[in-house]
């Protein structure tokens, strides 16, 4: 498992000193195809996940699932069906998880 943290700029109109620092942490998970759907469901329910990227054993991206509040209902159901189809045909894959992290700047 690998974790990388990427800082983002403060919102327009806020100085760096006053802003709450937003950053994105990327985490890579290696799992088998039979565990794929369950792990994606678990990640969706965590609430702080921004994007899920599923790659095959060679590193080729198979599907990217954006998880923003406005599109959760419309995108998740068809995406889970696609994840199930992918899980049926692959044995090993990796999931890259982008998490939203808010930290108060000092």
Average pLDDT of the residues in 19-35: 81
Q: Which two tokens stand for residue 24?
A: 């994105």
For the question of whether the overall pTM of this predicted structure is more than 0.75, the answer is: no
DSSP string, 33-99: GGGHHHHHHHHHHHS-EEEEEEEETT--EEEEEE--GGGHHHHHHHHHHHHHHHHHH-SEEEEEEEE
Predicted pLDDT at 48: 81
Predicted pLDDT at 95: 92
Predicted pLDDT at 21: 58
User: Distance of CA 17 to CAs 10, 86, 105, Å?
Assistant: 9, 45, 6
Judged against a pLDDT cut of 90, whether residue 30 lies above it is answered with yes
* Domain edges within the chain: 2-8+20-104
pLDDT tens column, 31-89? 988 899 899 888 888 878 889 999 998 999 999 988 875 555 666 777 788 888 888 88
Q: Which residue has the higher pLDDT, 74 or 25?
A: 25
């Amino acid at each position: 498992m690998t974790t990388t943290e990427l800082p983002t700029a403060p919102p327009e109109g806020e100085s760096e000193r006053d802003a709450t620092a937003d950053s994105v942490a990327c985490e890579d998970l290696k799992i088998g195809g039979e565990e794929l759907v369950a792990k994606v469901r678990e990640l969706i329910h965590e609430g702080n996940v921004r994007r899920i990227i599923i790659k095959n054993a060679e590193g080729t991206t198979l599907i990217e699932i954006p998880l923003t509040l406005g599109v959760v209902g419309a995108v998740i159901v068809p995406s889970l069906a696609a994840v199930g189809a992918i899980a049926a045909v692959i044995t090993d894959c990796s999931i890259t998880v982008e998490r939203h992290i808010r930290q108060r700047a000092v």
